[in-house]
Structure 1
């Protein structure tokens, strides 16, 4: 096969080259073929470790999976370090040098599994693997806050072992849906620990224009890192801004109490090169979503946790002194920008407090339908569909949104229905848990199932956390989901038929057609 001759093959994200797979020397995300190959080796070592039936080990297995998620770790040497740590658990002797590791890694490309297993079995395995990666990301964040769960640990090992042993397709299908169920537990665990640490999210106005002064921009998802930075910058004359998936932080009482958390800057991850170039301060990347930094800001961008990019300075253990010093050396914003604010903080607890009002508005005919429009954003053409969709949702309908896909429309004016905002920002991608809770509350109010609600779910996906969220919805029996802007390349025709037959999942079409279908 032609792919076998290429340096890499990767099709785990929505923007994969040609909609079929990134090959040759680098991925669309910027990942080098060396890094991709090392990640292939790491994943194979994880499967081999799981096949040894180890006692569940919190941490390493999940973190190694998370490191291979799109836009997390671009550093080949750091992935090599993880390979050696996992190999020591097996134990297995690895080549001493990077070149030897890369040569070994080439034996584990997807294209080889495709040849050996056939398309359906090979791609079912990838679907399970990508769900595991997404779940590992949420579990990593929960563990940062002191959480652990034996069921999650055990499932990670059992599912990886099934991939190592190449179990039949029917068993893989069962594990894929079970992955969705266990991911729900991971998201619930993270939600509970967010609330225990930072309080229940509450509706909050967030400034989206600059404030005069020195500045640090925090992107990613990790609220623990944000809190540590806020503590270390208090009284230093530095304003802190959120970016991307950090926006929901402003709804948590334990974070918004810091007066120097002044607002949100910019939009979703794919615009960061332009936005970071213009930001007059230091930048901290806490989880996935990093792009190749431009030389113009390489000296003031920092990574932490599992995020690594060659050339970017990495800070460990919450020691953000270098970030603070870099911010003090930059000019900061010279003056306040024109004031503009948006609303966040509509988690399930906030919605529960007005559930009767919402249910009454539906019964009175004031609210006709709910549209959940959320998921990962990206740069690939076609994502303007989500902006147009939100703009065309009728005035008697409410939009729920979560994850960075909301940046396509969250600064637009949607108004309200009887005091209920027409746009309810539920939070980060992991807050799909809150969205499910909200749907469950509505279903209870109307004595029906989620599938019988006046609710349409239209998702955008980019990387493996979105895959895990989709599997969670399917594991809960949610049907009629629309997915876009394109269907995953790692889903085979047979798997797609199964998803259509069992869950009536389908691709997005046009905003007008999808709205009409939802309201008929």
Structure 2
């Protein structure tokens, strides 16, 4: 195996990347190889899908499979090799169906039939051994010795950004929101990668183009979340348990949470969110359920302690799964793209076994003293008081805005974000999103003239809100986003974060501070390009970076 798609990447072997029998995320070599091969197979579907689309015949079933398959290969999503063997067979079936439809259509329209090379011609091996042998030829580091680290790194930047795009698009799709333009863009990106590009400029151009695609996808997901559940509203979320039977829901999927809330209504079972689902409490339709009791635990990397201590079953709905420990493994269920060998997987909405487990387990014997955090400051909330914010800036009450957000993780150096946020002066506003918020969301930031100094914009999925807020402020002050008293201090971990970073770069946003460590696929050569063109800066000392940000804007 070789994998360097996330911050857990092994750096101990000279060439950065997890290359042993097991990655640092817990993914074994067989699963890693099968994931690489699935990406190859999906490229083949896209090659024929793009041709069929060009003749006016898109294939919605194949497009949906592409999003789902790509999502399963993200960090900490699916570790079940058997599921990937099945998806590889399914990928070949989709490819063959789309190919046949394309050829029939081309013949009917009198168009010469094209026969794409590469992934489009792949045929699945007869067993796992043969599939692994195929995978070794098409892994993310294929051609490393001849192409060099920079080209392979840029190619990975395109692939990993595309994985994030597909994950966000899948989140929107399961809520009933789809876009033919997005499907066409995803197909085009996969078809581009299938041609094995080796030109640095072309790869960087496609990476930035994916940033623009991801903006469309995040807008679609924003419409899906607000259209289904209402606009976010400020809400105090209980962070301590109440007595009673309990289910914990982790991941990102609001639709699964709603389905479970409906299934447990009037049952006496309390539902708790975990990790990235904390912002669910800000949506009117979800918080209307009285048994959405609160949030339990912290960010995803705390789950082994959180899940072990939780006295009920746990449902994982999307990325952020860590190997379930023996003391609670039998209480964990997965759904959607998530999987772990030996852990029970439930099809969407088929949550009866989960509810039965809740009744069989003890739940919380007594309520703990109430503690809360406030969420619900997505774009509708903030823009609803934009006049007050603008007046406070003009009056000198608000000197600077910091967006301190992104993915959390267990790597050393992440207390930088805590130090940065807590050291931000009292005349500054801290916006946050993603699970990075758990680093400081219990700190008492206070307010400025009634405007809270800490504004929780939501999940990493809600990055669109941050962009809309920044653009609205720039319009109000008749300047560009880069001219605002705004500093972005971003923590990255996996491929959704890569997609969001590409979106920010595509929008021309400069001087982003990124950490705690830079992605391994951003080689020194690739990083230099990003520094020169976009002013990307690795994080340093929190207090020094804070002072530099304030000084730059003051000047």
Q: Which TM class, normalised by the smaller chain length?
A: over 0.9
Q: Normalising to structure 2: TM-score of the pair?
A: 0.91
Q: Please say if 1:22 is aligned against 2:18.
A: yes
> Could you tell me how far apart the structure 1 residues matched to 2:371 and 2:387 are?
31
Q: CA deviation at 1:104?
A: 1.6
Cross-structure match for 1:4? none
2:141/2:152 contact within 8 Å kept: no
In structure 1, the residue corresponding to 2:11 is in which secondary structure? helix
Q: Aligned to 1:336, which of 355, 362, 367?
A: 367
Where structure 2 has 5 or more consecutive residues not aligned to the other structure, the ranges are 97-121
Q: CA deviation at 1:317?
A: 2.5
> Could you tell me how far apart the structure 1 residues matched to 2:81 and 2:461 are?
28
Q: Please say if 1:113 is aligned against 2:143.
A: yes
Q: Please say if 1:40 is aligned against 2:36.
A: yes
> Could you tell me how far apart the structure 1 residues matched to 2:461 and 2:508 are?
19
2:447/2:453 contact within 8 Å kept: yes
Q: Please say if 1:401 is aligned against 2:394.
A: no
Cross-structure match for 1:270? 301
Q: Please say if 1:380 is aligned against 2:411.
A: yes
Cross-structure match for 1:5? none
Cross-structure match for 1:67? 72
Q: Please say if 1:134 is aligned against 2:164.
A: yes
In structure 1, the residue corresponding to 2:142 is in which secondary structure? helix
> Could you tell me how far apart the structure 2 residues matched to 1:108 and 1:314 are?
29
Q: CA deviation at 1:98?
A: 1.7
| 1:90-114 Cα deviation digits (max 9, x unpaired) | 3443222222212221222233321
Cross-structure match for 1:459? 490
In structure 1, the residue corresponding to 2:236 is in which secondary structure? strand
Q: Please say if 1:518 is aligned against 2:514.
A: no
Cross-structure match for 1:58? 63
When the two structures are aligned, how many residues end up with a matched partner?
Answer: 513
2:256/2:348 contact within 8 Å kept: no
Cross-structure match for 2:520? 489
In structure 2, the residue corresponding to 1:107 is in which secondary structure? coil
Q: CA deviation at 1:129?
A: 0.3
Q: CA deviation at 1:65?
A: 0.8
> Could you tell me how far apart the structure 2 residues matched to 1:270 and 1:189 are?
28
Q: CA deviation at 1:115?
A: 2.0
Q: CA deviation at 1:419?
A: 0.8
> Could you tell me how far apart the structure 2 residues matched to 1:218 and 1:210 are?
14
Where structure 1 has 5 or more consecutive residues not aligned to the other structure, the ranges are 1-7
Q: CA deviation at 1:164?
A: 1.3
Q: Aligned to 1:190, which of 216, 221, 239?
A: 221
| 1:419-451 Cα deviation digits (max 9, x unpaired) | 111100000001110000111111112111110
Q: Aligned to 2:3, which of 7, 10, 14?
A: 10
1:241/1:262 contact within 8 Å kept: yes
In structure 2, the residue corresponding to 1:58 is in which secondary structure? helix
2:274/2:299 contact within 8 Å kept: yes
Cross-structure match for 2:341? 310
Q: CA deviation at 1:49?
A: 2.8
Cross-structure match for 1:365? 396
Q: CA deviation at 1:284?
A: 0.4
> Could you tell me how far apart the structure 1 residues matched to 2:441 and 2:372 are?
10
Cross-structure match for 2:105? none
Cross-structure match for 1:444? 475
> Could you tell me how far apart the structure 2 residues matched to 1:444 and 1:109 are?
45
Q: CA deviation at 1:288?
A: 0.6
Cross-structure match for 1:148? 178
> Could you tell me how far apart the structure 2 residues matched to 1:254 and 1:393 are?
34
2:375/2:457 contact within 8 Å kept: yes
1:51/1:165 contact within 8 Å kept: no
Q: Please say if 1:90 is aligned against 2:95.
A: yes
Q: CA deviation at 1:81?
A: 1.3
> Could you tell me how far apart the structure 2 residues matched to 1:459 and 1:171 are?
26
**Alignment RMSD, CA only?**
1.1
> Could you tell me how far apart the structure 2 residues matched to 1:203 and 1:218 are?
21
